[in-house]
Copies of this chain bind each other. A is one copy, B any other.
Amino acid sequence: MSATIDRAAIATAFKDIQDGICSSLERLDGGARFREDAWQRDGGGGGRTRVIADGALIEKGGVNFSEVHGELSQQAARALQIEGTAFYATGVSIVLHGSNPWVPTIHMNIRYFEVDGGVRWLGGGIDLTPMYVDEAVARHFHQRLKGVCDAWDPGYYTAYKRWADDYFFLPHRNETRGIGGIFYDRVQPSEREPLDKLFGFTCAVGRLFAPLYAEVADPPRDRAFTERERDWQLLRRGRYVEFNLVHDRGTRFGLETGGRTESILMSLPADARWRYDAQVEPGSPEAATQALLRKGIDWAG
């Protein structure tokens, strides 16, 4: 069965996932449609950047597919710690920022990478960044991720949940970006992890995205909010910007290697705020959320 899983099959599956997600999100949003920018890459390949803005639910977001190939620069090869420079990469990347402060920001990415026809790997994940952590929602979110993980491997959830905790972390703030989720990167096919399993799991993560987002983002979408909650949303988005620009490896790698800037930075929110030494009020909802922005919380347990 593995024999049929080649670049073309993977890219086709990823495009189908992008299509399905965009259709679902347009139905869910009900107020805005995606705008597509098809682009070509000078060195080879291209992509379909799809962005949505000023919707009834989603304030700003993107659901991007790309399939690029060519020669890695020495710099890029060093950054990836690989030998060889002829590469192929395809993936789907999503970030959605809601308008309402009660709607969490979500991120999903699935990716396949190949060098010189030899080394190849898959990666992916979904993570959630609520402005206010609702513990019931956090548990539901992680249980759904655990459900998909468990269907493929009993070890996936524990390993990939920890990986997300470690990855979506801002050392300079000593806090996690949100409540995490699952993350895995550069997983190479092996006897224990044949390509069809890795690929099947990665597609399952992709297909989980749209229903899972609806489950966590639809219920609070029309909930009333105050200026204080809007202010907190903007400050939390400032942290999101900090993570993406300072730490996120995909963002930094893309910007440093001449990726398409507008497609990469679609992940940034419409508006973000910084205030010197912003402190949460003890006992407040903001303080409760701040206390939950740490690694190692067993949400699915």
Task: List chain A positions with a Cβ less than 8 A from chain B.
Answer: 35, 37, 51, 53, 60, 62, 171-173, 234, 238, 241-242, 245-246, 252, 255, 261-262, 264-266, 268-277
Contact = CB atoms under 8 A, between A and B. Distances in A.
Contact of A172 (B172, B234, B255, B269): B255
A60 B37 CA distance: 36
- Copies of this subunit: 2
Pick from A265, A266, A274 the residue with the most CB of B within 10 Å. Answer: A274
Nearest to A265: B274
B277 A269 contact: no
A276 B262 contact: yes
Contacts of A171: 255
Contacts of A255: 171-172, 246
Q: Is the interface of A mostly helix, strand, loop or mixed?
A: mixed
Contacts of A274: 60, 265, 268-270, 272
22 contacts: A51-B276, A53-B275, A60-B274, A60-B275, A60-B276, A172-B255, A241-B245, A241-B272, A242-B265, A245-B245, A245-B246, A246-B246, A246-B252, A246-B255, A262-B277, A269-B274, A270-B273, A270-B275, A271-B271, A271-B273, A272-B272, A272-B274
B275 A272 contact: no
